[in-house]
Amino acid sequence: MASTTIVGGCGHVGLPLGIALANAGADVTLYDTHPERVDEVAAGKMPFLEWGADSELARAIGSGRLRATTDPASISSAEVVIVTIGTPVDEFLDPKVRMFDRAIRSLHPHFRAGQLLVLRSTVFPGMTDRLINWFRQEGPALDVAFCPERIAQGYALKELAELPQIVSGSSPAALNRAKVLFQLLTPDLVELPPLEAELAKLFANTFRYINFAVSNQLYLIAQKFDADFGRIHAAVTHKYPRLAGFPKAGFAGGPCLLKDTMQLAGFNHNSFPIGQAAMMVNEGLPSALVERVKATRDLSRDCAAILGMAFKGNCDDHRDSLAYKLRKILTLECREVVCTDPYIADPSFVPLEVALAKADVIFVGACHNEYRTLRPRQPVIDVFDFLPKAALPALRKAG
C-alpha cells in the first residue's frame, strides 16, 4: 500500500482523512507545523471534536500505520503527498493565493521525482494547473491531482466512508494514481478535469451558502410582518418533496462557506452578485436580530446570554462563528453579555446554569443538543427554531 504523508495532517480535514486511510490499510504520516496538535495526535488524543474519531484514532495509532510529526523530511519518504492546509481569505475577503503557493514552495526541497501530489485543500480555481506548470519548470517530475474534501466537519469519518470522491489529475497517470488512493475509501469515484473539480467544490459550498441566505432573508421578511418563519417553513416542507432542500434559518458561519463564496467571487473578478448578496444577508443576521429585539425592550438594562458559541451545533470549532459577531453587537447594546458553550473551553464563558440564572434575554448562538429541551423563563431569540417553542415567553412590541 502506497506510503502517504499528509501536509497539514493534524487539521480538521487532514486528521480524519489520515485516520480513515490508515484504517483502510495505508501507511500514513501526518506532517503538521502545529507542535501541540502533533503531540496530542501522537499520544492518541483528538485535538478537536470529531464524532466517533477517538476510537478510530486509537485503532490507527495502535496498528502502527499512523504517526504524526513536525518534520517535513517525512515528505521525502512518501509515495503520495496529500496537502490539507488552510486556504483562507484576507481581511478584504480576497483569497490568500500566495500563502498557499508559498507553503507548497517552501516544501520544494522535500519533494522527489515520481511522487503523487494530491491537493485536498479547497483551492482558488486554476491552482492545480498553476502547480503542475510550476513543477514542470522547477522539477521534480511529479504527478499532481486535485481531489476536494466534502465532509461536514464533525462527521468526517462517517462521511469519508459514505461519500463519493471527486478525483482529477494532471495526466491519465496522475488520475489513475488518485483513483487507486481514494478507492481505499470508496469505489464510488467521479472524474473531472482539474479546473472543473476546483469549481465543483466551490459551487457546492456556494450553493449551500446562498440557500442559507435565502432562508435567512425570508426569516427576516416574516419577522418584519410578525409572521412565524418556523411555522411557515414547517408548513411548506410538510410532505412537499420539491422543498426538501429548503433549509431552516440560522447562522451560516464557519471556516468554509463564506470563504469559498468569496473565492468564487474573486475568481470571477468580483462579479458574483448573488454570492455577495448572500454574504450581506448571512453576515447581517446577528445585527438584524438585535435590532428586532431593541424594538421590544431596552437592552441597555439587560444581561443577554448567548447559548452556543461554536459556528454550528454539536461542534467545538469557533472559527468564523457568527455567535462572536452577535456577542460584539450585544456588548455595545447591553448592560452585560454572558456566553456559554459546552464544547469550547474559554475562561470568559460561564456554565449554562449561570447564563440562565443571570440572563434577562437569551439568544441561541449554536444548536447544541444540550439545549434542545431547555425551557427558559426569559424571552429567547432563537433564529434556528431549535428550542421547544410553545414553552417560550414571546417578545412583545414596545409601546
Ligand X SMILES: NC(=O)c1ccc[n+]([C@@H]2O[C@H](COP(=O)([O-])OP(=O)(O)OC[C@H]3O[C@@H](n4cnc5c(N)ncnc54)[C@H](O)[C@@H]3O)[C@@H](O)[C@H]2O)c1
- Give contact residues for ligand X (rule: CB under 6 A): 7-8, 10-14, 31-34, 37, 84-87, 103, 121-122, 149, 151, 153, 255-256
154 φ/ψ sector (left φ>0, alpha ψ -120 to 50, else beta): left
Closer to ligand X by CB, 202 or 305: give it: 202
In angstroms, give the least distance from the CB of 86 to ligand X.
Answer: 4
Closer to ligand X by CB, 32 or 382: give it: 32
Closer to ligand X by CB, 163 or 189: give it: 163
Burial class (CB in 10 A: 0-12, 13-18, 19+), 191: middle
In angstroms, give the least distance from the CB of 358 to ligand X.
Answer: 33
Give the three-state DSSP class for 89: strand
In angstroms, give the least distance from the CB of 95 to ligand X.
Answer: 10
In angstroms, give the least distance from the CB of 255 to ligand X.
Answer: 5
Total residues found in the chain within this entry: 399
Computed on alpha carbons and rounded to an integer, the radius of gyration of the chain in Å comes to 23
CB 251 within 8 A of CB 365: yes
Contacts of 89 (CB under 8 A, 6+ apart): 95, 96, 259, 262, 263, 266
284 φ/ψ sector (left φ>0, alpha ψ -120 to 50, else beta): alpha
Closer to ligand X by CB, 85 or 355: give it: 85
In angstroms, give the least distance from the CB of 78 to ligand X.
Answer: 13
Closer to ligand X by CB, 84 or 261: give it: 84
Closer to ligand X by CB, 83 or 210: give it: 83
CB 37 within 8 A of CB 10: yes
In angstroms, give the least distance from the CB of 47 to ligand X.
Answer: 8
CB 18 within 8 A of CB 51: no
Closer to ligand X by CB, 29 or 216: give it: 29
Nearest-CB residue for ligand X: 11
Compute the distance between CA of residue 231 and CA of residue 334 in angstroms, rounded to an integer.
30
CB 296 within 8 A of CB 397: yes
Query: How many CB atoms are located within 10 Å of the residue 43 CB?
Result: 10
In angstroms, give the least distance from the CB of 287 to ligand X.
Answer: 26
Give the residues across from 143 on adjacent strands. Answer: 116
